[in-house]
Structure 1
């Protein structure tokens, strides 16, 4: 299986106009990702491409517009360039050696330092800087934290794990969602036994087992039904909750959920998703969560939605944010969104935690972690 973009190391190339960013991007990729020209401002929007960068592995290379762009359109391009920082793991700052480091270069370098993004400054000369860039990328990669696995510490060899994966109008055609794929892959690597079923098959499946399952993992949409069909002694959680733990914000999401119950009439709630997709009948973000909010709070709330990259930085008008599990965006970008909310005192929860809380099964669904979030 090809590594998804959210699980790759994101390497972004920054610099002023005509610094040689696009030339370097094309050299790293071995193909013409970006148009190269002597005309300033040729790259107008960030352009990304996945590749295998040996010996590092799967990465995403992003070429950006010059951060010294001018005019009304230039300001928008610079904003897009700065937004790329929210998903950047390693930054390469390209500077034209014949021009030297400018004020704009120094200012951007300061931003990289403030955000704690590992970076390297490379001066472009007449000869190729590809090998130097690869050398620096590999060096900087050693400072990246090794990510835990999605089932870290939860299963062992020979355990039986039941995965409840409903196939309905909202399910992606012909494929499983990423958290389901990740869990299945890890169970295979762990030599545990995976049983994949739909919600209505749970009782019958449990009845056929000679050994009690070590864990049941369900899709958030059928959380309450699965809980009702499952005896209390069998551990239960959801793919969304596992993803929140994997992405590093489970504890914050649990702390935030209590504030949602206290929402008042007229409060605004943002329901946000990291990916963009065509809304289906019964969509979890636009139908099921708003319905659960109304039932839980018994208040008239203003519900707004966002998807893909359109996450607002100004969250001051919202009383809460309920975000998807973030499987299609990087951990860095998801934590950036959470930090935006925290800095503005806006509770930031995720789908799985909220639905477990609304269904009265949150304590049960996080018990398996034993406070190890």
Structure 2
């Protein structure tokens, strides 16, 4: 997979925030060594968030997010500010860009407060220091107002940019935790079997992103991976001469795969692995158990992190609603949302059922879970829900909570 084709969901998201004309776009251009953002002295040049993929070694693939100034005004300006603040829900590391000649403003201090409340690590970037007479005094005064690292730069004079890159690298290494998919559950030379149904929803000629990412993680762990369809699992198990350390299945084949996988072989699903990597698994399990409390006329939100062509038996719009109706025997209402937007007012919903979030980064998914938790709305993802309904939740989460049998 090339750098440009690396999914945004596995990139470190670095958001640049600040007032208009503080120099956010200039810093993106300077960090990337490319003229990828429009730079102008005109206030409000950047209107919508702009996502710029690049690589910062040794971090690896990143995405720099250029945002509109948080001091914009008027009806249209407020919409721009709201869009900029929405980016915080996707941000792993924030750069607060401040015009050094103006110092920290109320808007900047408000952003710092938001970073702290969302536990987003941030770096304060004092830009345009070439305009200052006494840099040390401004730097000293700024440090009194923040606990974050403060880096002085000038994009026009090429000052401090390498220091900024190094601070980004340091902050990433210090603040971020690597949330793996499967490598923490297996040992080198283990065998892992993936069960991948090929139905109408399967894209012709390729595997979907969650399957690709799990395969790569297994290979990086120096393990062997066998791929089979659900109706060939028994044959696959009989044809290998070593007991598998783990079987991973598509959630839609959970029931059959559970029957065909011996009880002494750990079993889980792609969706549960993503719940472990990108979400709060305990909260999602709690959400699954809530379905037995649903009553007539409850409204359920089915949310997905991307948009895709819907099949006639689509899992989100057809299969899961049918499963919930059959399980509860209630008259339930369903609403559907997909893509980057997520309603922050969820009070009308009794339950949120979310996709596996393969196209979202961890920060985005955790933000959605937190929004639901803060409003006391239970939330569950597809895989956890299906495992619960099929009566195999305990078995399917055991490998991600306890060590695999190969580790014992």
TM-score surpassing 0.5?
Answer: yes
- More displaced 10-residue stretch of structure 1: 123-132 or 234-243: 123-132
Aligned to 1:141: 172
Contact 1:272 1:321 in 2 (8 A): yes
CA 154–135 in structure 1, closer or farther in 2 if over 3 Å, else same:
closer
* 1:118-157 correspondence runs (5 A): 118-125=121-128, 126=130, 127-128=154-155, 130-157=161-188
Report whether the alignment pairs 1:316 with 2:319: no
* Unmatched runs of 5 consecutive residues or more in structure 2: 131-153
Q: Secondary structure at the match of 2:97?
A: strand
- More displaced 10-residue stretch of structure 1: 124-133 or 295-304: 124-133
Deviations 1:232-270 (A, max 9, x none): 333211010111112241121112211112211100111
Contact 1:236 1:365 in 2 (8 A): yes
Distance 2:395 2:98 in 1: 54
Distance 1:154 1:239 in 2: 13
Distance 1:208 1:288 in 2: 33
Aligned to 1:254: 285
Distance 2:213 2:290 in 1: 31
CA drift at 1:231: 3.1
Aligned to 2:29: 26
Report whether the alignment pairs 1:85 with 2:88: yes
CA drift at 1:208: 2.4
Superposition CA RMSD, Å = 1.8
Contact 1:14 1:21 in 2 (8 A): yes
Deviations 1:291-336 (A, max 9, x none): 1111111111111111121211111001111111112111111111
Quick one: which of 42, 52, 60 aligns to 2:55?
52
Aligned to 2:70: 67
* 1:1-373 correspondence runs (5 A): 1-2=1-2, 3-125=6-128, 126=130, 127-128=154-155, 130-371=161-402
CA 372–106 in structure 1, closer or farther in 2 if over 3 Å, else same:
farther
Distance 1:61 1:166 in 2: 36
Aligned to 2:141: none
Contact 1:33 1:47 in 2 (8 A): no
**TM-score under structure 1 length normalisation:** 0.94
CA drift at 1:132: 4.0
Contact 2:56 2:62 in 1 (8 A): yes
- More displaced 10-residue stretch of structure 1: 17-26 or 202-211: 202-211
- More displaced 10-residue stretch of structure 1: 263-272 or 240-249: 240-249
Contact 1:92 1:133 in 2 (8 A): no
CA 153–118 in structure 1, closer or farther in 2 if over 3 Å, else same:
closer
CA drift at 1:179: 2.4
Q: Secondary structure at the match of 2:185?
A: coil
Distance 1:212 1:54 in 2: 39
Contact 1:270 1:320 in 2 (8 A): yes
**TM-score under structure 2 length normalisation:** 0.87
* Unmatched runs of 5 consecutive residues or more in structure 1: none
Aligned length: 373
Distance 1:201 1:220 in 2: 16
CA drift at 1:152: 4.1
Distance 1:225 1:239 in 2: 15
Contact 2:276 2:400 in 1 (8 A): no
Distance 1:180 1:254 in 2: 22
CA 194–142 in structure 1, closer or farther in 2 if over 3 Å, else same:
closer
